Amino acid sequence: MSSPTSPSPLTLRSFWHDLPREGKLLLSVVVFEFIGTGLVLPFNIVYLHEVRGFALGDAGLLLALPPLVGFLVVGPGGAAIDRWGARRILVGALVLQVIGNVTLAFASTQALAAVALLMSGVAFGVSWPGFQAFIAAVIPSELRQRYFGVNFTLLNLGIGIGGLVAGAFVRVDHLPTFQAIYLGDAASYLPALFLMLVPLRHVAGRVEHHGDGSAAKVSYLDVVRRPAVASMLLLSFVSSYVGYSQLNAGMPAYARSVGEISTRGLGFAFAANTLVIVLLQLVVLQRIEARRRTRIIAVMGAVWAVSWLLLGATGLVSGTWGATMLVAACASVFAFGETLLQPTVPALVNDLAPDHLRGRYNAASSAAFQLAQIIAPPIAGFLIGHHLDSVYIGTLVVGCLLLGVLAVVRLEPQLPPGVNGVREPELVADPDAVPEPTPKTRTSTLE
């Protein structure tokens, strides 16, 4: 819940000043870690197919392993976070990432590549809920929205730098250049691992369970039965389906097959996406401070609807410079929506979650997000491949508008105002605000 003490007005200096030491340490390694991600992210399929010589279909199946395994382990991972603490789980995940990337750098057979990607998938599945729970353990509630926003900016900056470096360095006819970027990705996890093992070893250990220990036996079904959680999971699924799942799969496919833009034009669009996030995130954080998070999500849905309409317009000017500009505009407008989403949803989930169930709450949200990423690409491929371009764009626009309805009409009435980002002065001034539950009502094992 929100602290009665409001943070300072948002500037980079005030944000850094307000952060606890542990938060400063965590942010200090984000860019470096995601430079490693940026090194390899655009080139995984190129490495497996063109460099290692695996058939394109086999390479696609190999790259489907991490998200699939991640989805399968996220549930047990969330329970493990609640039982043993986020830090221990993250140490294991970081070690797996290091070993997986080193193995992939020297994977001359499909079997070895599969082992490497399976390790990365396990790490991927527990890392998201693990880091969210860890951050919530060290960042006060009133600073979480700011923290998640700044973290997202640094993450994108790192990926952008890594992509530029790798693009200028790798050569398809020279295997050692690809081995170097995977070893670089492995090395990028070492600073975070050091933080977990040394300066932050006292943070986010096993959560203390008071009473008869029944809280430790709370199942995911018990968690999902809470109305606000069920609505939050539905919102996470829809936002993933109409959002990142399309940006990473549907948008490039549509841009290439319908808009007929070049691969260079597609790279330009993704660069524009990153640039907008880096330039706008702090400005957006200042504008959304203390506003209802559900309303921010609704605005984001409208922004994303505009971005998909811009993508749809590429079909009117296929194969031209105008199509490339429209795809870049789509990616840029989408990025503006991202700056609204990334600070709000993680903060909302963690303000909603009781400490002893934070792993399960974050894992459930992650599972809903990942499920959409598994479902969306085949649907997008079918619609685009069967020339149902208008149906594809229309479903995305409708989905974005539905997102706003879910946020405002369904989720908002189920949230205490503090969880929804409203500070105490507004609670006093707003007689229609949903009141905070009193301690007497918090008797469920979910609390």
Q: Packing angle between helix 358-385 and helix 389-405, nearest 10 degrees?
A: 150
Q: Sort 8 into a burial class: Cβ within 10 Å, 0-12 / 13-18 / 19+.
A: exposed
13 in any annotated domain: no
Question: Considering the domain boundaries, does residue 91 fall inside one?
Answer: yes
Same structural domain, 177 and 57: yes
Would residue 12 count as lying in a domain? no
DSSP letters along 269-304, please? HHHHHHHHHHHHHHHHHHHHTTS-HHHHHHHHHHHH
More confident residue, 64 or 285: 285
Q: Which tens digit of pLDDT belongs to each residue from 345-369? A: 998 998 888 888 888 899 999 899 8
Helix ranges restricted to H, 85-109: 86-105
Tell me, what's the pLDDT at 210?
A: 52
pLDDT in the model for residue 128: 86
Which of 201, 230, 250 represents a domain boundary (last residue)?
Answer: 201
pLDDT given for residue 256 in this prediction: 83
Helix intervals (H) in 170-262: 175-188, 190-197, 220-224, 227-242, 244-245, 251-257
Kindly provide the b/e burial profile for residues 64-89, where b requires at least 16 CB atoms within 10 angstroms of the residue's own CB. Answer: ebbbbbbbebbbebbbbbbeebbbbb
Lowest mean pLDDT among 93-107, 210-224, 399-413: 210-224
Question: Average pLDDT for residues 134-143, to the nearest whole number?
Answer: 87
Residue 4 clears pLDDT 80, i.e. is over it:
no
Same domain for 189 and 140: yes
CA distances from 1 to 198, 215, 419 (A): 30, 20, 6
Please compute, for residue 320, the number of CA atoms within 13 A of its CA located in the half-sphere on the CB side: 9
Mean pLDDT of 327-340: 95
Tell me what pLDDT residue 205 has.
56
pLDDT over 50 at 151, yes or no: yes
Specify whether the CB–CB gap between 334 and 272 falls below 8 A.
Answer: no
Query: 259 and 192: one domain?
Result: no
CA nearest 243: which of 81, 368, 68? Answer: 368
Q: Is residue 4 part of a domain?
A: no
What domain range includes position 101? Answer: 22-201
Is the residue at 2 inside a domain? no
Predicted pLDDT of residue 404: 94
The arithmetic mean of pLDDT across residues 268-288, rounded, is: 89
Q: How far is CA 383 from the centre of its chain?
A: 25
Residue that finishes a domain, picked among 137, 171, 201: 201
Please give the Cα distance from 279 to 274 (Å, whole number): 9
Reported as a pLDDT band with limits 50, 70 and 90, residue 424 is: low
What average pLDDT score do residues 410-414 get?
94
Picking from 201, 231, 246, the residue at the C-terminal end of a domain is 201
Based on the domain organization, do 330 and 420 belong to the same domain? yes
pLDDT digits (tens, 9 = 90+) for 27-69: 999 999 999 998 888 788 888 988 899 887 788 788 888 888 9
Are 407 and 360 in the same domain?
A: yes
Residue type, 322: G
Q: Which amino acid is at 31?
A: V
The answer as to whether 209 is a domain residue is no
Is a pLDDT exceeding 90 seen at residue 266? no
Distance, in Å, from the CA atom of 82 to the CA atom of 205, rounded to the nearest integer, reads 9
Q: pLDDT tens-digit profile of 72-109?
A: 999 899 889 988 888 999 999 999 999 999 999 999 99
Asked if 225 and 312 sit in the same domain, the reply is yes
Place of tokens 């929804």: 420
Q: Is 209 a residue whose pLDDT tops 60? A: no
With tokens 């360095």, the residue in question is 169
Q: Are 276 and 405 members of one domain?
A: yes
For residue 93, what is the domain's CATH number?
1.20.1250.20
The answer on 282 and 155 residing in a single domain is no
Residue 440 pLDDT > 60: no
Q: CA-to-CA distance for 237 and 368, rounded, in angstroms? A: 5
Q: Are residues 238 and 195 in the same domain?
A: no
What is the per-residue pLDDT for 329?
96
Q: Is pLDDT above 60 for 208?
A: no
What value does the mean pLDDT take over residues 376-385? 86
Residue 446 lies in a domain: no
Residue 123 maps to a domain: yes
Instruction: Note the residue count of the chain.
Output: 447
Torsional sign, CA 89, 91, 94, 98: negative
- Domains held by the chain: number: 2
- For position 257, what pLDDT does the model report? 85
Average pLDDT, the chain: 85
Whether residue 173 is found in the same domain as residue 240:
no
75 and 107 inside one domain: yes
- Asked if residue 237 and residue 355 are part of one domain, the reply reads yes
- Looking at per-residue pLDDT, the higher value among 185 and 256 belongs to 185
**C-alpha separations of 101 from 177, 182, 197 in Å:** 14, 6, 20
